[in-house]
Amino acid sequence: MINIAILASGSGSNAEKLMEYFANHSLIKITLLGSNKEEALALTKAKRMNVESWAFSNNDLKNGVVLHKLKEKKIDYIILAGFLALIPKQIIQAYPEKIINIHPSLLPNFGGKGMYGMNVHNAVKKAQKLYSGLTVHLVNEEFDQGKILFQARVKLQDLDTEENIAQKVLQLEHRYFSSVVESYCLLFAG
């Protein structure tokens, strides 16, 4: 089995899609859902789906506790699904090309520091873009600059509000993220 850990800080709708998608998979298992926010809905969703859930502190992330847990659980890939803390160097180095993030814009546009959640969609709206979309990319030591694995775009209308844009992008994320993760993890299997 290929073991995946999902890290999520928020509502966890992408995490939920991943847990559903891989629930009966013959090669890939969601072994752990970790969150740096005790109150994250993502944790509740994991419990409901019988996936081990684990709340940790930002300190645990920095001081090796999280890395230790990932190793103990024999995690092969880490999926960031709305995870809002910086992944420390030690974890990036322990998992080279094995950490995948989803970002709600067409990188390199609207990425980098401060570009998360509604900040992204507000900026897209302000720039009057014709399209937005999602990017699935590898995580390296540069914020939002790892290798792009997949992008999909969605057309925007003048009348779209920031909330509409967020909705459109989230739908796209739900449609594609799990299968992109699956293909990437299976690339190196067997």
103 binds ligand GRF (CB under 6 A): yes
With contacts defined by CB under 6 A, name the span among 7-15, 19-27, 48-56, 88-96 that binds ligand GRF.
7-15
One DSSP character per residue, 116-170 reads -THHHHHHHHHTT-SEEEEEEEE--SSTT-SPEEEEEEEE--TT--HHHHHHHHH
With contacts defined by CB under 6 A, name the span among 8-16, 58-66, 69-77, 179-187 that binds ligand GRF.
8-16
Question: Is 174 labeled as catalytic in the residue annotation?
Answer: no
Dist. CA 23–CA 144, nearest whole Å: 29
170 binds ligand GRF (CB under 6 A): yes
Comparison of 4 and 15: residue with beta carbon closer to ligand GRF: 15
Query: Do residues 105 and 132 lie in contact, with contact meaning Cβ atoms separated by under 8 Å?
Result: yes
| Other beta carbons less than 10 A from residue 160's beta carbon | 19
13 binds ligand GRF (CB under 6 A): yes
Whose tokens are 């009057």? That residue is 128
| Sites for ligand GRF among residues 33-52 (CB under 6 A) | none
Least distance to ligand GRF from the beta carbon of 93, Å?
Answer: 22
DSSP letter assigned to residue 87: P
Whose tokens are 């897209």? That residue is 124
123 binds ligand GRF (CB under 6 A): no
Using CB under 6 A, list all residues that contact ligand GRF: 8, 10-15, 81-82, 102-104, 170, 173
Catalytic residues: 103
